[in-house]
Structure 1
Amino acid sequence: MRKLFEFIRSVYVVVLFVVLEAVSISYYARSSYYTQARLLSRSNQVVGSVHGLFAGIGHYFTLGRENRMLLARVTQLEERLAQYEEAATAERLDGYMQDIGESKYRFATASVVANTVNRTRNLITLNRGHRDGIVEEMAVLSPDGAMAGYVVACTERYSVAMSVLNTSFRASGKLADSEYYGSIYWDGLDPDVVVLGELSKYADPQPGQEVVTTGFSQYFPADVLIGWVESASLNETRTAYTARVRLAAGMSRLGEVVLVGNRDLFEIRDLQQSEQVEQHTRP
């Protein structure tokens, strides 16, 4: 007991200092709305830095796997380029590319700073923002080109995407090599499986069949891989199928992502919301 008292006597000054500092900071934080806002801003910066530090450590240990994925992707692109070169002479190919002009889509890459998969409304935080050319509603794809989500908010240096594992997520998908399409959403049950609903009763989806995007969505280009049919069943009225689709993107392992932006998106949206169009949709 005597040693305990001696220990307390030796450290009580430090403990008292820490307690007084905590009380002072608490009083300062409550003194005005301005100080509350300043402290909240500082705390957000600290949290962001900590997330970034741990994300960097995690990325370091996954570099081998990501390099293998990138190498496989480069190999696929090299094979496709070789096919183009065999199909046409360089002069014809150059002429074709000039006729095409600028691509409808633009691409960027980003690292995942934070990502959740165990909630009903999961989000992905990325280390790219407005200053890097990232804007809201850009598609987010895994490194091998599979659907992962889309951007919903941006600051100058960061952006947040709605994960495909979010019960508010919606996109259109179809069975590959067919015209049967439906709505892609997550039911909040399995983080590796999404649902393809409202699929025609004539579609007859089969296990293992590939599911891709339709291109109808404002976020995703056509034929982006979503996953593969795991099971399917007709609804009670036997008028439509509901298929469970195993995701191609490993959502719990996302380290790097590809962002895709539709250059025509805002022009199309402005047109759809114009007075000329609205006057034809009013009751």
Structure 2
Amino acid sequence: MCDFFFKWRFCILFFLLESVSIFFSFKNLNVICNSPKFIIGKVYESIYEIQNYFLLKIENDKLLKENSRLHNESIYSYIIKNSNSGNFRMEDIKYLQQYIYTPVQIINNSIYKQENYITLNKGNLDGIKPDMGVILPSGIAGIVIKTTPHFSKAISLLNLRIKINARIKKDNNFGTISWDGNDYKYVILNDIPKYCAINKGDIVETDGKSYTFPEGIPIGTVYSYKLDDGNSNFIIKVKLFENFSIIENAYVVNNILKKELDDIYKVENK
């Protein structure tokens, strides 16, 4: 029931506000309200606004699919396969797709707990599996941990148990993003060496080393920084690009080469 109200909250709010608007119109304009033209006009106006609401939802779905297509065609979704010939030529470069994006809607999302989770409106029937990344239009949301045929549950970036590889965009110095359990607008970037030149406003993004997220997905900007107790690494407070209190649309990222990469790592660790 809670998922239903969360999913349709804007539609329900619209109908409530429209009802209040019509009520006060009739109450305060008794003379005008006796006119059939006025009543018909209000009905048509309400119908028009309702149609616009659902048309906007259709257009939003179209935009999600189009953005998904653009993500799939992004250079960060491919790896370069060079020719084996000794003489390098531009025409010998081949691209192998590594990531595929599936548009989803967020139907439940918590932000005030120490361990927050996100529920998505698609599941394994749509090809979604555990360990797939979830990204937002301007950031990352979390990682899928459980699926059913029609729904998925993801551990949120706002969860004390999650850590994600990230880097400073300008110089590629990398570390680990985590949440400290305080403000949902900020996360912490650790393990950046003290010799790095950090400035407020520097962009923080994914580095692609985890194979869950493609490299270059924006996360946020440096808000403040200080050295840790050992005086060797920076503790960097990062302001997120996305406001997690209002997120609605997302994309699930499938690394189609992940199994192959995992098999290689298993051999290395034997």
- The answer to which structure has the higher helix fraction is 1
Structure 1 residue 59: Cα displacement:
5.6
Match of 1:122 among 116, 125, 139: 116
Change (3 A) 1:139 1:224: same
After the TM superposition, which parts of structure 1 deviate over 6 Å for at least 4 consecutive aligned residues?
Answer: 61-66, 95-98
Q: How many angstroms apart in 2 are the aligned matches of 1:241 and 1:253?
A: 30
Q: CA separation of 1:97/1:165 partners in 2, compared to 1, >3 Å: closer, same or farther?
A: farther
**CA–CA separation in structure 2 for the residues paired with 1:97 and 1:145:** 34
Offset, 1:98: 9.4
Q: Which has the higher strand share?
A: 2
Cα distance in 2 between the residues matched to 1:209 and 1:98: 33
Equivalent residue runs for 1:1-283 within 5 Å = 50-58=1-9, 60=11, 67=60, 70=63, 99-101=94-96, 103-142=97-136, 144-274=137-267, 277-279=268-270
Structure 1: state its 5+ residue gaps. 1-49, 82-94
TM-score normalised per structure 2 = 0.69
Show the counterpart of 2:31: none
Contact between 1:121 and 1:167, CA under 8 Å: does it hold in 2? yes
Query: Shift of the alpha carbon at 1:135?
Result: 0.9
How far did residue 278 of structure 1 move? 3.7
Native 8 Å contact 1:148 1:164 kept in 2: yes
SS of the aligned residue for 1:252 comes to coil
Displacement of 1:58: 2.8
Q: Flag the structure with larger Rg.
A: 1
Determine the structure 1 residue equivalent to 2:21: none
**Aligned 8 A contact 1:145 1:225 in 2:** yes
Change (3 A) 1:229 1:97: farther
Pairwise CA distance, 1:254: 1.2
Offset, 1:234: 1.0
For residue 25 of structure 1, what is the aligned residue in structure 2? Answer: none
Residues 45-75 of structure 1: CA distance to partner in whole angstroms, max 9, x if unpaired? xxxxx244213313647986995xx59x96x
Identity of aligned residues (%): 28
CA gap of 1:204–1:160, structure 2 versus 1, over 3 A, is same
Mapped to 1, the partners of 2:101 and 2:10 lie a distance apart of: 21
Aligned partners of 1:59, 1:184: CA distance in 2, in Å? 33
- The CA deviation at 1:174 is 0.9
Counterpart of 2:148, as a letter, is T
